[in-house]
Amino acid sequence: MSPIAPRPSRVARARRVKQPKVSIEDRLVAAMESLLERGQRFGTLTVDQLSVAAGISRGTFYLHFRDKGELVARLMSFITQEIIDSAGTWYGDADAAGPDDLRAAVVGMVHTFKKHHVILSAVADLAPIDERVGTMYQALVDRLCAQSRRSLAVVRRKGLSRPGATDHMADTICTMIVEHCVRNVGELDATGLNRLARSLAYLGVNAVFANPD
């Protein structure tokens, strides 16, 4: 009779339970970013390359996604939600948000754009020549602008906004932040990134709030 294996200790079981399960989407995000950072062109990435880099089989890929385009759409939705979450109170609870919350939101968003800059810049580069990718990129911009308009509406309702703080201004500021981050954050070190975040936050806060201090 084979010896009975000892039962794992309570500590070992707790450690095993606490280890977060990495989703297929997370693994594919990391795989795509890794391949792009090594010089692979976005438009020529294949399902085989992504599957190998993510440590999954081709069959597993197709259990989750119809093709690479569906994967990219899912990744863009995933990244967009992460950007929204990084804005904290400004997007999450605008009724409680003040100038400092908007400053923190811009800083959080800039750092999230930096985290995913390889994918975002690749998508932005391909957007003008690939209709499907262009639609995905525009969806990111539109969703962030919609969030900004909702938050600004709260500030206006509370009587705290500048007279010229319109929805059009919200769209303009939001689009400026997105475009600037997509094009520039990849080249910045920590010091440059923080300087950019402070500059964009200054512009946003002073455009929205009548008394930003």
Task: Please state the φ and ψ torsions of residue 136, each to the nearest 5 degrees.
Answer: -65, -45
User: What global pTM score does this model have?
Assistant: 0.81
The pLDDT of residue 14 is: 46
Q: pLDDT tens digits, residue range 52-100?
A: 999 999 999 998 888 888 888 888 998 999 999 999 999 999 999 999 9
Structural contact between residues 50 and 61, judged by C-beta atoms closer than 8 angstroms: yes
Cα–Cα dist 187/124, whole Å:
16
Number of other CB atoms surrounding residue 135 within 10 Å: 12
Percent of the chain at pLDDT exceeding 70: 90
CA 4 to chain centroid? 48
According to DSSP, residue 56 is labeled -
Mean pLDDT of the chain: 87
Number of other CB atoms surrounding residue 100 within 10 Å: 13
As a whole number of Å, the CA-based R_g of the chain is 21
